[in-house]
A and B are shown apart, each in its own frame.
Chain A
Amino acid sequence: NAGVTQTPKFQVLKTGQSMTLQCAQDMNHNSMYWYRQDPGMGLRLIYYSASEGTTDKGEVPNGYNVSRLNKREFSLRLESAAPSQTSVYFCASSEGTAGGPLSPLHFGNGTRLTVT
């Protein structure tokens, strides 16, 4: 099984450019998440979608938008990239809402984004 697939793996943007990070899962999971990982900061939640058709803000949503396209796909868009958005972005999914005993998170391998 592929699990959670993220594209692209690497991306370099100039300040002000836009791009969309793609994420797809093949586990029929209900919930999907976008995290960013920065040195010394751990993982911080950007947005999540507890079910198809719903999205909610996480801890650091400013500068991002998301779309839950269908049950499988959850995309993250940067409308006008800034150097502060240089980070590694992880998509994750879970069967239910993360935290329940039946719902461990499954992570993709990340997208490394550099904004110059």
Chain B
Amino acid sequence: AQSVTQLGSHVSVSEGALVLLRCNYSSSVPPYLFWYVQYPNQGLQLLLKYTTGATLVKGINGFEAEFKKSETSFHLTKPSAHMSDAAEYFCAVSLVSGNTPLVFGKGTRLSVIA
């Protein structure tokens, strides 16, 4: 069965600093990988996804993630944090067969300090 591990339940960065949120997955077959973002009192929104092809995926709001099969990782980055990036971020995995629901990680809360 597939699973996702997010390292760090809380990450704090200064405004303008690099954002790095870590995600490692476990899957016996090639996975689809996703990052979702949740702003306070809202549901989750899709940030970006990796399916096939280019391993560097660009998403909304300047975020990007790189699929590294050798490291079973899909870390989320943004070169320069903005106050509006403060939110909770979830990594999720599903199998390429596509017949199973997403499995979410436990989430990482990002705080941005002025």
A residues bordering B, Cβ < 8 Å? 4, 33, 35, 40-45, 48, 50, 58, 90, 92, 96-101, 103-105, 107-110
A35: B residues at CB distance < 8 A: 104
**Top 6 A-B residue pairs of the complex, sorted by shortest distance between their CB atoms:** A99-B94, A107-B43, A100-B98, A42-B106, A101-B51, A104-B46
Q: Are B43 and A97 in contact (CB under 8 A)?
A: no
Give the distance to chain B from A13, nearest Cβ to Cβ, in Å.
Answer: 20
With a cutoff of 8 Å between Cβ atoms, the chain B residues found around residue A50 in the complex are 99
A-B contact pairs, 20 of them (CB 8 A): A4-B43, A33-B101, A35-B104, A42-B104, A42-B105, A42-B107, A43-B44, A43-B107, A90-B43, A92-B43, A98-B94, A99-B95, A99-B100, A101-B98, A103-B98, A104-B49, A105-B46, A109-B43, A110-B41, A110-B42
Across the interface, do B100 and A105 meet the contact criterion of CB distance under 8 Å?
no
- Taking CB atoms, residues of chain B closer than 8 Å to A103 are 98
What count of chain B residues pass the 8 Å CB interface test? 26
Asked if B45 is an interface residue, CB under 8 A from chain A, the answer is yes
* 8 A Cβ contacts from B42-82 to A: 42-46, 49, 51-52
Contact residue among B42, B49, B90, B94 (Cβ-Cβ distance under 8 Å from A43): B90
Taking a contact as CB atoms under 8 Å apart, the answer to whether A90 and B9 are in contact is no
Q: Are A97 and B45 closer than 8 Å at their CB atoms?
A: no
- Beyond the given pairs A42-B106, A99-B95, A110-B43, 7 more chain A to chain B contacts, judged by CB atoms under 8 angstroms and listed by A's residue number, are A50-B99, A92-B44, A99-B98, A99-B99, A99-B102, A101-B51, A105-B46
